[in-house]
Structure 1
């Protein structure tokens, strides 16, 4: 296997680094085969995520099936992490961190919440994880 720059960007996530195996390139970010395109006649997969957004020393824990659109609508300074999950996981996190809730979906960035986010970040950068989950569902 050879690693390097693919002949062009990945059609799924836009990354340019890849790995060549058996004469084909595969994106290192999402695993999509270079040159392949999702079938336009099939519906795109739904990927629900729980997101963690920072604004000052506060963190919003929310969920969305369309995170790019949702995050564009929320004032924040930094996307801290994603974890794959829907409203049930979001509600579980709200209960887990209820002691530092400021109101609604906003929480004080306590050491406990920061440690949880740090554990999530060891799995990868949020948008890279999202691309991998999306690619896996398309391939599935």
Structure 2
């Protein structure tokens, strides 16, 4: 029987506070990490390639990184809009898709078409929770 509710404490991987009781233990609802397990500090975290969408005013930067926290800290932006799991090929595909609204470099005008694409990504989940889930899946693999 699966029971949902508050975790006994924050998830050690993503900090989430909600989960499901499965068998004799809890799993984080945000990332799927088993409550109480601690990532091995001696091992590097897996590198998860993401395509990110950052908003600054009415412009969106579509870029990629394997270390999104560090990368986003280095870019002036107002809001993280979304993540997609994928690397340079997916980023280049998105650049081709939205080439007609490119302002220069990796910056694009926030049109209805781009906003619809981003909304579909947001419907899947919060960007940082998705990243935590992908990280959790890679750690379990």
Q: Which 5+ residue runs of structure 1 have no aligned equivalent?
A: none
1:40 Cα deviation (Å)? 3.1
Counterpart-to-counterpart distance in 1, 2:35 and 2:6: 11
Counterpart-to-counterpart distance in 1, 2:55 and 2:44: 32
1:42 Cα deviation (Å)? 3.3
Counterpart-to-counterpart distance in 1, 2:116 and 2:4: 33
1:37 Cα deviation (Å)? 1.2
Q: Which 5+ residue runs of structure 2 have no aligned equivalent?
A: none
Q: What's the secondary structure of 1:74's corresponding residue?
A: coil
Aligned length: 140
Task: Quote the residue 1:103 is aligned against.
Answer: 104
Within 5 Å, which residues of 2 pair with 1:1-140? 1-140=2-141
- Cα deviations across residues 36-62 of structure 1 (Å, max 9, x unaligned)? 012334332110000000011000000
Counterpart-to-counterpart distance in 2, 1:75 and 1:41: 32
1:67 Cα deviation (Å)? 0.5
